Structure formats: C-alpha cells, structure tokens
Amino acid sequence: MTSARAAARFAALTPVRRGILIFIAAGLVFITADTLTKFLVTDAPVVDVVFGRHLSAFLAVLFVTSRRGSLRRLGTRHLGLQVTRGAFMFATTAIFFFSLSLLPIGTVSALSNANPLFVLLLAGPLLRERVPRLAIVGSVIGFAGVLAITGLDPATLDLRLLAPLLFAVVYALFSILSRSLAREDANVTVFWSALVCLAAGTAGVLLFPSPTPVEPAQWLGIGLLGILAMSGHWLLVVAYRLAPASDLAPLGYLGVLWSFLVGALVFGDPFALPAVLGAVTIVAGGVIALRAVGAEDEVMAAPAMDRGD
C-alpha cells in the first residue's frame, strides 16, 4: 500500500479511531525512548543523561514557542505551583532513568504503571474528590499486582524495586499538581516545567560531577531522547483532541506489553512469572479504576506514558 493510499484510508476513519491509532503510535514512541534510555544509562552516568535530556527538551520547547510568537505570553500567575510541578516532573524523570539502570525494563514499566492507583489514593484527601467504589476495587486489584512483583515478605524484598514504586508515588503527586494548574495555559505550563527541569538538571551535574566523560555518540542519543519525548507528547495531545480519554486510558497499558517484549528481545531479560502475573494484575486493576473514574480526567488517562521523560 502506497503512503498516499494509507493516508487516505487513515483520513477516512472516524475521529475516535484516528485518535486511538495516534495514541498507540505515541506509546510506541515512548517505548522507543525508554529503550534508548536503558542503553544510555547502562554506560553513561544517569545524572548526565537526565541533564542532557532536559537540555534538549528545553531547547525544543523554546524553538516551538518562539516560532509561534508566544514568548511574551509565558508569564504565570501561579509561579509557586509551576516551580513545584516542574520539580516533581524532574524527579519523575530522574527516578525513572535511575530505575532503568537497576532493573529490567519490563519490571520498571509494570511497577511504574501503578501510578494511577496512587492518584486515586491521594486525590480524595488532597483534592477532596469522591473516589467511586469500583475505582477502589480496581486499586486493590492493582496493589495486589504490585505485591506479586515485590513479594509479601519485607525481609526478602529487593530494595531496587522501591525505585519504580517511588516513581509511581511521585508521578501521582505530579499528576495532582497538574490538575491544580488545569486552568493555566498549556504552553505556559510546558515552558515553566521545561525551565525548572533544566535548572534542576544543571544543578545535578554541578553538584554530582561524573568522573566518566560522556562520549559524543552518547550525547547524540541523549539529545534524541528530548526529540522523542516531545514527539510523543505532541501525539498524545492530538489523540486527546480526537478521542475521549476513557477510550484511550486502557490503551496506555500497552506500554507494559511493549516493555516486556523489548526486555526479552532486545536486552535478553527472562520472563519471570511473578513479574508477568503482577503486570497483568496491575493492568487489570488500573483499567477498572480508570473506567470507574470517568471519561473527562486526562490526568488519569495515560498511565505512565506522559511522565515528562
């Protein structure tokens, strides 16, 4: 099939179907970024990878914003919230990259995707939101999946597993902060988040200088991470404009499947039965919880896809 015919068939689809396909494409972009990150943090210092990724992302945001002629309209009335949100966004990236340096990509993805469950847990006390009973059931199922991976005995707990779990908690707080800034212009929030992340990344490389210099080829890969992240987020925005969040939400968990496949085919990770069963349970619980919450909550809609990496 030629590209022209493929484009014509795509254009003939309903908006919802186009949105679903674009959302799946975004997930593939993000798993590509995760795979590249896994390669990079295996040899390059995590602090340098985090800094370079945020530098490239900031330059990309600055380029796009300047082309739209909106640089003068980037002031914010919620500076404290913007800085706090940016700091949490930086933390999610740093923790996720650190997790990939410690664990198989499938395990990291499975535990990271527990974040919607933590959002549900925290949304009630922090945002005074009512959590549906079915969402609570989904959360309990999801946490059972977490326990299937980590184990029930604290004495035998692999402490490395705490890293992606910490990511899930921090991402949940980041999501709640994002919800608090829902009325702020999206371009303003993206700009301030990128700026804060760059400042934090710069502080990181200055405070914790690496004894091993990053090679030019590695810097190219780090720069590519920023481009992949921006492309993935752009695809997400387009997808949400075409399809309801409730239709897209369960598809976010395809990332877990992609991660296990990449781990096995690219990195040679074994299919550990507890990790696979735990991942399936987390996905099932997450889908139930997301369906129960409803169609309009975009913060909950894309599990760990939109995590700022």
- Supply the pLDDT for residue 62: 83
List Cβ neighbours of 129 (8 Å cut-off, separation of 6 or more).
Answer: 123
Q: Would 3 be classed as within a structural domain? A: no
Question: Looking at the 3D structure of the chain, how many domains does it have?
Answer: 1
Note the maximum CA span of the chain.
Answer: 59
Encoded amino acid at 220, one letter: L
| Tens-digit pLDDT profile for residues 284-300 | 888 887 777 653 454 44
Specify if 296 maps to a domain.
yes
Phi, psi angles (nearest 5°) of residue 200: -65, -40
Structure tokens at 27: 């997930």
Dist. CA 212–CA 129, nearest whole Å: 48
| Residue 43 is assigned to a structural domain of this protein | yes
CA 124 remoteness from chain centre: 22
- The reply to whether 307 falls in a domain is no
Full-model pTM: 0.84
Tokens of residue 146, six digits = 């977490």
Instruction: List the structure tokens of 9.
Output: 């068939």
Domain holding 30, by residue range, is 16-301
8 Å CB contact between 112 and 284: no
> What would the two tokens of residue 145 be?
């999946």
pLDDT at 90 exceeding the cut of 50: yes
pLDDT at 116 (0 to 100)? 74
